[in-house]
Amino acid sequence: MEIVAINQISPDQVILFQWGWIVINATLVYTWMVMGLLVVGSILITRGLSPERAMSRWQNLMEVILSNVRSEIGEIAKDGADHYFPFIGTLFLFILFSNILTFIPGYVAPTSALTTTSALAVMVFFAVPIFGITKLGVIEYLKEYFRPNVIFFPFHVMGEFSRTLALAVRLFGNLMSHEKVIAILLAVTPLFFPIVMQALGLLIGLIQAYIFAILAMVYIASASQSHEETEHKGKKHGKETPEK
Amino acid sequence: MHIDWFVFFAQIVNFLILLFLLKKFLYGRIIGAMDAREARIAATFAEAEKAREEASRSVLMCEKKLQDIQGASDEMMNKARGEADAYRRELMDKAREEVDEIQNRWTETLRSERENFFQELRRLTGTQVYAITRRVLKDLADMDLEQRIVQILTERIETMNREERERIRTLMTAGEKITIQSAFDIPPEAREKLNGTIRMSIGSGIEVAYEKSDDVMSGYELRINGYKIAWSMKDYLDTLEEKFYHVLYEESQERKQVH
């Protein structure tokens, strides 16, 4: 018996336990599994952490991943990368591990459920003003909504919502469709193609995790840099700041 | 599309919990370790850079020291060379002085020896010539040389012209003697004869003193208060000495040229 049947579009629909309005579905269970894996792995890896040049392979792997995430954040945020690092890093690691664990038979990525992607997108939605206000202050942050003039205010607000929706739907759509394509291929050609698609799925999972984290960082960074600062930096680098 | 809001909020909470746990167990530790390693590597690099700079400074210092040593060595060498030159010149001057002194001494010795030689030659020659002449006169003319010399003196006094006699008389003062020096003892007969001739030719009261002297070379000298009538072999011997000298000098010159 399949955990997620072909007619069920996401693991949200696989309800394992329900007591009143409390629902425990497959999405939550797989999320806890990924969380448990990440937390236990982190504890194990960081247990024998070495500041010396010689280190364990796992520590090396984690350092490679985290230092790359950190440098990517640094390239986008320019300054204060470590401030954004826990949020963006957690987004990336959670989505990445949720996605790449799909090679385990029976596992369904929680990111292929709209509730998860929506929750993550809403997190980004709130993180943008929180980081922006922390960095610029309330007034300076709100001023950005009225640039270049007041007419643009509704467009900015619409932009905020639409990009949050786009974040949620992009990740959900990619992962969910991938799950469905594999399910369909298993039904049609159970031998060779599903394996190729699984391999492709790992790549898609990685890319989606990267896209989600980078976009979140770009949104936060754009909100955390004032208009004057952006212009100054653009002139300093001899080019205008790219459109977000 | 149905969204279960409980699951939705549960996912948000899940994410926040994950964020908290990862921050606690992963990021802080990993980043701390990475930063510590970076700091350590940076410190190592800084130390290496410091060591490199120190090494560069040491190299520069050593090069400078080497240059100083080279300079000092050159200076010392030049000074030593100058001192050696000065010392060499000094030694040369000293040697030259010594050589000059030795040469002068040698020349002086040579001159002294030559003089001694000629003096001895003159003495021996005089003696020999006197002896030979004496013998020749005896053999050929049966005459005594001393007698002949006294005879010559006698004749000389007798043949003095008037002016000469007057001059001697004017030179004579009261009690002044005429001194006759000869290389041999004039016998008393000859003395009497000479006294007679002198008194007859110059003046009657004249006293005559006779002295024997080796200075008078085989001849005589008659002295009257600075006036002198003499005959000796000195002139002949002087000529002989001069001829000897020339012969010896020419021979030594020839020897020098040969060497």
Q: Provide mean pLDDT across the span A61-76.
A: 86
pLDDT (tens digit, 9 = 90+) per residue, A164-196?
Answer: 888 888 888 887 787 777 778 777 877 777 788
pLDDT at A8: 61
Alpha-carbon distance of A169 to B250, in angstroms, equals 143
3-state SS of B78-136 is HHHHHHHHHHHHHHHHHHHHHHHHHHHHHHHHHHHHHHHHHHHHHHHHHHHHHHHHHHH
> Angle A106-A112-A115 (CA atoms, 0-180°, nearest 5)?
120
Contacts made by residues A6-11, CB under 8 angstroms, sequence distance 24+: A6/A180, A6/A183, A6/A184, A6/A187, A9/A176, A9/A180, A9/B1, A10/A112, A10/A113, A10/A114, A10/A115, A10/A172, A10/A176, A11/A108, A11/A110, A11/A112, A11/A113
The percentage of residues in chain A with a pLDDT greater than 90, rounded to a whole number, is 9
More confident residue, B19 or A231: B19
Alpha-carbon distance of B230 to B180, in angstroms, equals 9
The one-character DSSP state at A104 is S
Q: Which amino acid is at B142?
A: D
**Which CATH number is B144-246 given?**
3.30.2320
> Which range (A65-74, A172-181, B189-198) has the least confidence?
A172-181
Would you say A179 and A102 are in contact if contact means Cβ atoms under 8 Å apart?
yes
Please list every residue in chain A whose beta carbon sits closer than 8 Å to the beta carbon of residue B32. Answer: 51
Please list every residue in chain B whose beta carbon sits closer than 8 Å to the beta carbon of residue A27. Answer: 7, 11
Q: How many CB atoms lie within 10 A of CB A194?
A: 19
pLDDT at B81: 92
Would you say A120 and A110 are in contact if contact means Cβ atoms under 8 Å apart?
no
CB contact under 8 A, B27 and A62: no
pLDDT (tens digit, 9 = 90+) per residue, A202-225?
Answer: 888 899 899 989 988 988 888 887
Q: In angstroms, what separates the C-alpha of A43 from chain B's closest C-alpha? A: 6
CB contact under 8 A, B12 and A122: yes
> Which range (A32-36, A76-80, B40-44, B48-52) has the least confidence?
A76-80
Q: Is the pLDDT of residue B201 over 70?
A: yes
Would you say B252 and B193 are in contact if contact means Cβ atoms under 8 Å apart?
no
pLDDT (tens digit, 9 = 90+) per residue, A74-121?
Answer: 888 877 778 888 999 999 999 999 988 888 888 888 888 888 888 998
pLDDT (tens digit, 9 = 90+) per residue, B128-145?
Answer: 887 888 788 888 888 787
> For testing the chain B interface, which of A14, A21, A62, A115 should be mutated: the one with the most B CBs within 10 Å?
A115
pLDDT at A81: 77
pLDDT (tens digit, 9 = 90+) per residue, B158-190?
Answer: 888 888 888 887 777 666 778 888 888 888 888
pLDDT at A179: 76
Q: Provide mean pLDDT across the span B79-108.
A: 90
Give me chain B's average pLDDT, please. 84
The one-character DSSP state at A17 is E
Enumerate the domain spans of chain B: 144-246
Q: How confident is the model at residue A242 (pLDDT cuts 50, 70, 90)?
A: very low
Q: In angstroms, what separates the C-alpha of B44 from chain A's closest C-alpha? A: 12
Alpha-carbon distances of B126 from B132, B133, B142, B228, B242, rounded to whole Å: 10, 10, 21, 22, 14
pLDDT at B154: 86
Alpha-carbon distances of A36 from A41, A85, A188, rounded to whole Å: 8, 21, 35
Retrieve residue B215's tokens.
């200075």
Q: Look-up: residue for tokens 């990009």?
A: A163
- Touching check for A45 and chain B: CB below 8 Å? yes
